[in-house]
A and B are shown apart, each in its own frame.
Chain A
Amino acid sequence: MSKSDKVVIPQAVADGAAAIVADKLNFTYNPKSPFSKQALKDVTLTVNRGEFVAIVGHTGSGKTTFVQHLNALIRVQNGGLFVLDYNLSAKKVDLKTLRGRVGMVFQYPEYQLFADTVLDDVCFGLKNFGVTDKEKREQLAQNALELVGMDFDKVKNKSPFDLSGGEKRRVALAGVLAMEPQILVMDEPTAGLDPRGKREILSLVSSINRHKGVTVVMVSHDMNEVYENADRIIVFREGEVAYDTTPRQLFKKEDEIISMNLEIPHMAKFCNELERQGYVIPDDCKTVEQVFDAVLALKGGVGNA
């Protein structure tokens, strides 16, 4: 579909059920040059509003290229892409409002902190997106910092550079959340953090997803965290969508996953083995605690029989 063709709005977009609809999205870096490289091939997928979707794949599989399309950092070359009610294949897109509604958290976002104080840093985005009233800005910044679990009065006048790694990342996240986006796109939000930092960020993102209804798209290399947190996993392989399914279903295909150089989450591997031997494990059983309870239930069942 070229840009001039008549646009058919997908039903799911018109209904307001879908947050993101990609239809045969293609992208080539350095097209028509000897260095041209096709990064996305006919990517077709839908993310529903309120969903927590993880995007995984080997380095170079096109994950980052795809998510950079979602707030038009990369413009659509070929194919259809709707995000909320924006048609990103159109020639003109209202980028300013789009980027306020689709919050993007890059890899190592703490490297992008720059202001003298935490408060200024969080307010920077708001200022750019047209929140002209200073008091309103500070109120939104306070809400966002409290949402990420920071003590507002304690940190607001601190330099962001005096914070620990995990705190810096939360401040960077607050800068995006302050704009109250409807979609939160994150590229490896837990990379480089220690286990506690990882847990904090993930539980924060899960709670924003569940309680505020924010749609989450998270790129990650950590299969264990993806397994436990995402409603659905989309696997990219050489620029194509290779799988699009629930965590439990996906990791039952152990050989295929390994052949794509991805890891099997521990709890998936464990449950797969039990299922191979004929035991039934409930589908929502993903964390260590859930699996432990399921095994106890099986033990009880065996004992009663």
Chain B
Amino acid sequence: MDIITLENVSYYYKTYDDEGAAAQASGVEGINLTIREGAFVALVGHNGSGKSTLAKLLNGLLVPNSGTVTVCGLDTADKKNIFEIRKNVGMVFQNPDNQMVASIVEEDVAFGPENLGVPQPEIVERVYSALEQVGMTEYAKRSPHKLSGGQKQRIAIAGALAIRPKVIVFDESTAMLDPQGRREVLSVARELNKQGMTVILITHFMEEVYGCDEVVVMSGGHIVKIGKPSEIFADERLLEAVGLDAPRSVALAAKLKSVGFDVTENCIDARTLGVEVCRNLTK
């Protein structure tokens, strides 16, 4: 079943030139995309490619200038639907420090359901099950400000989960984290997906894309390619054109294959590639 559908969607940001006259700068243009329920979709592109604009269109933070965005059968352009849509699509943003609203972790996570008017006993239940899902139960009574970046992002994820959404959008949620924080957030994202959540991961770390069902590549406000990670990694010309890099071991594997080495394409693990190359050398 399709949970999100974008039909010919365009969104333009208003900008002003030096004289103060309004000019239109494009955010995204002519986007057609459907996202299946339960899918793990990565959205990649360079800075300014329109991927964050697209993310904000998914829960009605932005409403398209033309075209329609349908979430769980509801049109985001209809103001009546906005609450229902935001209940269904949770978002986690880039900067962990900007997403904390309370001084105690459990209160922070409770912020969403409180605003939805969820009865008190159920709030408690939701907060604790959300904290458990991100592995942060023991931090419930702590102050979020003293946590690491990865832990803060997990709290932000718990905050989104407490609303019980069907879809969760990670808008470059790993960009400001150290490698460990990144691993923490990614493993939570993968785990949620396994439990049936639809996950949309926006990133420019190509290594994070590995293992997704589908990769959507954006450039200049357009979708330039949709495919499996292996198809995207293999398209060196495309990656070069949109300013992205295949993981280094994948790039090396592709080069070796092109000169006749018998190696697995899209080999993300450099050691495995090493083993394969040794086998080729002793042949």
Interface residues of A (CB under 8 A from B): 58-59, 164-166, 191-197, 221, 223-224, 261-274, 277, 279, 288, 291-292, 295-296, 298-299, 302
Contacts and interface: CB of A to CB of B under 8 A. Distances in A.
A273 B204 contact: no
Interface string B189-224: 000000000000000101000000000000000000
B119 to A, nearest CB: 39
Interface of B: 45-48, 94, 148-149, 175-176, 178-181, 204, 206, 243-245, 247-249, 251-252, 255-256, 259, 261, 269-271, 273-275, 277-278, 280-282
Main secondary structure on B side of the interface with A: helix
B178 A221 contact: yes
Contacts of A274: 274, 277-278
Nearest to A287: B248
Tell me the interface secondary structure of chain A in the complex. helix
A165 B47 contact: yes
Contact of B248 (A166, A191, A267, A302): A267
Contacts, number: 103
Nearest to A277: B278
B176 A270 contact: no
Given A261-B180, A292-B256, A196 B46 contact: yes
Contacts of B179: 221, 223, 261-263
Contact of B278 (A268, A273, A291): A273
Contact of B204 (A59, A194, A224, A302): A194
A109 B249 CA distance: 31
Nearest to A301: B281
Nearest to A296: B259
Contact of A194 (B47, B149, B255): B47
Task: Find the residue from A223, A263, A265, A295 having the highest chain B CB count within 10 A.
Answer: A295
Nearest to A193: B47
